[in-house]
Structure 1
Amino acid sequence: MTAGPTVVLDFDGTLALGRGPLQAYIAALDDRSSNSDSGGDIVRACLAAIESFDAGATDHRDAYDAVRTTALARGITETDLSRAYLASRDLLGTEDAPVVAPRGLSAFLAELSTSATCVLATNAPEAGVERALISLGIEHSLHERHHDVGKPVGLEPIIAHHLDRGPVLAVGDIWEFDLAPAARLGADTALVGVREVPEARPTLRGETLTDLYEPIRDWARAHRVAASA
């Protein structure tokens, strides 16, 4: 595409919804709990941690962070956490780790991709993500795909590169990881979700990505017109 606006999109919690991948992660942790001091209660403890997070009773950045913290407290090692995560990602987009799209996502991205460069930037490894994109019906609407980004720091060069070409809007559900690096570089931001983050000052905000479809369309169109003027 010619120089113009770019929309940088997060994957988990933004484009891909549902607890399927997280449940696969917990199941993989349970397979490894026999080598820890967890006493076989890892699944129960992780589910309780997710419930507390969903109720707003903890300050974890997301449900994965709640599971990770809980597992570490019960003797699961960092190595086993990494292996369990990779095992769950291998199942992404299958019936063992299904994902669902926000309502109307495929049509929205297909339209958006005609007026902006659409970029996927995720900390998730490539394994499983491509299959999940196909299951979500959005594989043809993403002009670039960046895996294992290493957010927050690893997002900065992606944002900086596209800011050299034109305006950038970063879209995600975790301010610290998905949006703060973009905001520091002067990009616009769109925060998905209802959790309060005192330091967050997003350009756009919506309870769900679906709530942001029209504002994102308007942003892209306005900057596309400006770039053409």
Structure 2
Amino acid sequence: MSNELLVLVVGGVAVFAGAVVQGSVGFGLGLVAAPVLALLDPGIMPGAIQVVNLTMPLFTLAAEWRRVDWRGVGFALLGRLPGSAIGAVIVVYVSVYTLGVFVGVMVLVAVALTARALSVPRTGATVAAAGFVSGITGTATGIGGPPIALVYQGAKGPEIRATLAMFFSVSAAQALVILALVDHLPARALTTGAVLVVPMVLGFVVSGPVRRYLDGGRVRAAVLAVAGISAVVLIAQSLAV
């Protein structure tokens, strides 16, 4: 099996699984698929996963756009702008793996604190700060969901999914533009990402029953679990290189 076919098959399975998670909780596609794609073909990352990140939220918004917290999205994007610029510098000049370990540890600490009933206040400042961190990690590694999700963990399922979807769609488009400007977006990354949209759509369809189950009062636990797993995956991926 050629490496290109291996990327599409194994990477497609990872994208499918990630889409089931994100379709259910509101984030998680990057944490499942990005490490797999990076191991299979580092040359297509983070561009390929950003193509999928751009497309996936559109399906969520088609169903739940009325639940978007527009004020929160505005603050998150305000923080994301400078964060993305730093992420681009990291892609070009700094080891993203060092960043991965640092961010992973910070997310684990945040999950541990919030799991013990420490509430993260959802204010303009905290949402903007989460957007800033998400901008750095999302642009550099393709995993930018946990910071925003932790701030919104107390919201209801539809609001979390819709708000994160709007944030992710704009963020992914911004990341693709920045990656192109710094010459880190090869055509191969775009074509691979476009093909991986197919298993992403299938994963979103499968996520429907899981989504309804979590909306019965289990969303916060799911958010914390996915954020914690994403941190462990990010640390493991960074240390393995």
TM-score normalised to structure 1 length = 0.32
TM-score normalised to structure 2 length = 0.31
Which has more strand, going by share of residues?
Answer: 1
Max radius of gyration: which structure?
A: 1
Which has more helix, going by share of residues?
Answer: 2
Structure number with the bigger relative contact order (C-alpha 8 A, sep ≥ 6) is 2
